[in-house]
Amino acid sequence: MDPDLDSGLFGIQLSDSEDSNNDTGPAEGNPSKKQEANTTTDRTAQSEEEFQAVRKEYKVKIEDGEIWKTIRLPLGPERIPKPEAQALLHAVEELYFFRRYTEGAQFVKAALGENRDDSNGSIGLGLDDDTRNLLRYYERKCDEKAGHI
């Protein structure tokens, strides 16, 4: 080691990649044979026939403002799982995006339980605060855009 570089602060001992017997491979240059074998196997794991069968059955999912129809309302007071809460947000975001503001505001009211006659204060109890606040935000924006406020 060069005595001029022995400052202690950046005195890092570097080793040659050929000296180590680890499986990580060289840091630069050609990939190791083990890495080449894995990528080749991964790329050709599916035969052409299997690919064509999957391709034939594949249907493109088109979202056209109808996510809200797939959500069962009212939600109820029990805790709402995160995927269902995300679906609520996606539904109102989609209605907003397609400029269906009145429907978006009505959807949020229904999701939070405001359209029910028995107002027992259980509005959206199963939703976390962030989701409930974001739904309220979209309700206000939809009402503003629709001209209700």
Q: Indicate the domain borders of the chain.
A: 67-146
Q: What is the DSSP letter of 111?
A: H
- Residue position matching structure tokens 């978006």: 104
**Count of alpha carbons within 13 Å of 21, Cβ hemisphere only?**
0
pLDDT of 113: 80
pLDDT tens-digit series, residues 19-77:
555 555 555 556 555 555 555 566 668 888 888 998 899 888 776 668 888 888 777 77
Q: Mean of the pLDDT values across residues 111-134?
A: 71
Task: Tell me how far apart the alpha carbons of residues 143 and 71 are, in angstroms, rounded to a whole number.
Answer: 21
Q: pLDDT tens digits, residue range 104-121?
A: 999 999 888 875 454 444
Structure confidence at residue 41 (pLDDT):
60
The residues near 146 (Cβ < 8 Å, ≥ 6 apart) are 101, 102, 105
The whole-number pLDDT of residue 147 equals 83
48, containing H or E segment: helix 48-57
- Banded model confidence at residue 134, pLDDT cuts 50, 70, 90: very high
The sign of the CA dihedral 121, 127, 130, 136 is negative
**Residue 66's Cα: distance from chain center in Å?**
19
Residue 26, pLDDT score = 55
Res. 92 pLDDT band, cuts 50 70 90: very high
pLDDT at res. 118 = 46
Looking up tokens 């069962």, which residue turns up?
72
Q: Distances in Å between the alpha carbon of 14 and those of 11, 20, 32? A: 9, 11, 20
Q: Which of 95, 105, 99 is nearest to 66 (CA)?
A: 95
- Please say if the pLDDT value at position 14 is more than 70: no
Confidence at residue 103, expressed as pLDDT on a 0 to 100 scale: 92
Nearest by Cα to 83 from 101, 96, 71: 71
